[in-house]
Structure 1
């Protein structure tokens, strides 16, 4: 009997999941597995956890939902904890699996882990096969080779939009044949070395992990409220659940795919008409693709102080008191403080806020941008390695911005985007 392991990572869904469908097609039975990688819960060299409590809670909710969805069609989710290069081959050996199917990685640490798993699987006569499940466009459909992909987004976007097609999405499987999968046993936050948390009641939205919740959010933002039609005008908002789509946490864990969102945008346009706003959401999904491809192209460079630029500068030193004033929202800028308090207490921050606090960190506090990026990695509920480090490098002037160093006038930004001080009053007034 052909047995395969499906190693879930940041693709926690059953719809539009090529990895899962290919495993079902090629096997008699499958074993869905998620591994809590010990490395994801350690501290980085910058002194922050790789995964903070809020993001971990969202992950636990997403895994609970995935298990439920798998059980509805005859399977379930097996949970292991440790090093993937030890745990995944152990599962493969236990079930005499011939193949492990998983999502294809592009960032350096994730690729190193993938390589280690592949090497260990070969020792138990098992193959690893990977699939592109995180992007709007499949890499092989793009009109460039990896070497010739433009480093400027506009050039990449124009050629891609003109010459590449977005594939149709995969339907969810109707049934899965699996041996009996024991009842789901998730670790607690404490077992992951994290503190229990409660999200501040002022949060823009109370995020809950999982494909079911992602689908609900999509239906709400598109068809129930038709907010998609005004997205471009409202996306720079800062207060409330509906100024932007808020899809990012579910996209980061793969509870929903960019292609699913794209095809629902097309359905929406057929019913309610296309405009700049409906296009703009696709435009932003393409940015995600771009950063992912840049990581494939440049590997470790996005984690260097000089980023993907060739200029060499001495890294800026750390000023502990300035760093903690930024983290705790006690800087000289009330606009920065309000945004940083929102992040600390909810795990979320608006796009407008992110650009401002990053600019402030790099230009006003004059510190190494990677420290800020590492703090975001710990705190953001929607942390995605490529988008986070790619955006920070961009703001620091060492990434893909053709204009180089980017500086935000914080006072002007506050006056433009929080004119009535609604956002600042919300976060700077004691509850």
Structure 2
């Protein structure tokens, strides 16, 4: 009997720098690569009524899984695709194919680790080993200069410590080839309507910053383009707060979220660029952002379920949040009457993407100006964002809502101040709010100050602000 290992792909949909999959091919005679569409990840979030994984995320995921299958076929294998509960499907496959072990990537947050625990218990019955590999961050948790339980509550302290005392491990090579057992029923890629009821592939809005397509192949092409072909990385720090266009930031986050590209692969490309073309603040700043991403992953490990509760990781029980559904829906639909907020929310609604600057502003507006339960906003982002990453999303919402690890108490983003600074001519607002196309730049962020005659003159049909933001 050949030694068989199932490699369960999760949020690591790549062949490069994938320690677990590489070791599966080295340690087994036959490897069964597997991806399971966990049906629980496509159910509706209650009481909000939208799917946990929305259509933009689902499209990107389907493309990523298909690309993974294509790349595995080039190695002489294939990818098994199933739908259901991974812990049940994998344990059944393990018994059916008499495998010796299950290898997979390690996750950090509760829903994912609950599945790991459930699967581990089932595998013990069949005497099947279960081995997990950490590969989602720049710094491996074993290389941190402190236990995760002692993680600093201020990012700057974390960053300085790891930069000074820790090293980033080298990437793992792709496996050259592997053998698949004969007779496997590989299964077909589901249609999007099979995952999300009544859903179709979303159309690409011509205003979108980038026509994102899932998969490792596209991820590496984007990395090559942003770093080497265009040299945009050398101005990243100056442009990263942009709002329009493909290249104000790296836009690698959707591929990072599904593990189509490794953060260490990005790091190595940046270091190679610095060696060949020169280092500056911008080349470092992209690494800085990857360290932020690490930090939120380790925060999730440290605080567990507290990350997802309204009281946040601070366990602040004094704050009281509104659950006004009508107000929340206006925020979701970009109908708050605050142009900068509405433009960002409509971009998210129509494309599944929003700039980092926009995310900070709309999150602050929901939590601080409207007083609406921030976990509703985090859940909507989970559904809608192409680049949804559980730790970064919920960690950032904790941060902006004032219940996370922000050293500056009661941080607030004033929409008017922010709009004036980052969209002074109103180009971004007019891009997403065509009803304001004729408003002069001097008034574009102050629509509520226009007289009835001015509103008529500029052809404005736009709602009054639902809350006063002049703070």
Q: What SS is found at the alignment partner of 1:419?
A: coil
* Match status 1:279 vs 2:284: yes
* TM superposition shift of 1:49: 1.5
The answer to whether the Cα contact below 8 Å between 2:82 and 2:187 also exists between their aligned partners in 1 is no
Partner of 1:338: 343
Gaps of 5+ in 2: 438-471
Q: Which deviates more from structure 2 when the two are superposed, residues 195-204 or residues 61-70? A: 195-204
Cα-to-partner distance string for 1:135-163 (whole Å, 9 max, x where unaligned): 00111011001222111100000010000
Equivalent-residue separation in structure 2 for 1:103 and 1:208 (angstroms): 23
Aligned match of 2:231 in 220, 226, 229? 226
Contact between 2:81 and 2:186, CA under 8 Å: does it hold in 1? no
User: Is 1:16 paired with 2:17?
Assistant: yes
Q: Which residue of 1 aligns with 2:462?
A: none
Partner of residue 123, structure 1: 125
Matches within 5 A, 1:121-270: 121-180=123-182, 182=185, 185-194=188-197, 195-196=199-200, 197-270=202-275
Deviates more, 1:371-380 or 1:174-183: 174-183
Gaps of 5+ in 1: none
Q: Return the match for 1:406 from 411, 415, 422.
A: 411
Q: Residues 42, 282 of structure 1: CA spacing in aligned structure 2 closer, same or farther, 3 A cutoff? A: same
Counterpart of 2:304 in structure 1 is 299
Question: 2-side partners of 1:19 and 1:211: how far apart?
Answer: 17
The answer to whether the Cα contact below 8 Å between 1:302 and 1:393 also exists between their aligned partners in 2 is yes
- In 2: Cα distance, 1:370 partner to 1:183 partner: 38
- Do the aligned residues in 2 keep the contact of 1:56 with 1:189 (CA within 8 Å)? yes
Could you say what secondary structure the match of 2:51 adopts?
coil
Task: Report the alpha carbon displacement of residue 311 of structure 1 after superposing the two structures with TM.
Answer: 3.0
Q: Secondary structure at the match of 1:147?
A: helix
What is the RMSD of the two structures over their aligned residues, measured on CA atoms? Answer: 1.2
- Higher mean alpha-carbon deviation, 329-338 vs 303-312, is at 303-312
- Indicate yes or no: 2:111 matched with 1:109: yes
- Partners of 1:394 and 1:59 in 2: how far apart? 27
Equivalent residue number for residue 40 of structure 2: 39
Distance 2:93 2:31 in 1: 11
Q: Give the C-alpha shift of residue 131 in structure 1.
A: 0.4
- 2:327 is paired with a residue whose SS is helix
CA distance in 2, matches of 1:250, 1:152: 27
**1:266 match: secondary structure:** helix
SS in 1 for 2:44: coil
Kept in 2: contact 1:9–1:34 (CA 8 A): yes
SS in 2 for 1:242: coil
Deviation of 1:184 (Å): 5.5
- Give the TM-score, by structure 1 length: 0.98
Q: Deviations over 1:298-336 (max 9, x none)?
A: 000011111111431254121111111111111120110
Give, in whole Å, the separation in 1 of the partners of 2:251 and 2:319: 37
Count of paired positions: 431
Residue equivalent to 2:384? 379
2:68 aligned with 1:66: yes
- Give how far 1:179 is off: 1.9
> Which has the larger displacement, 299-308 or 194-203?
194-203
Cα shift at 1:201: 1.3
8 Å Cα contact 1:46-1:374 kept in structure 2: no
The Cα offsets for residues 174-203 of structure 1, whole Å up to 9 and x where unpaired, read as 111112455651111111124112121110
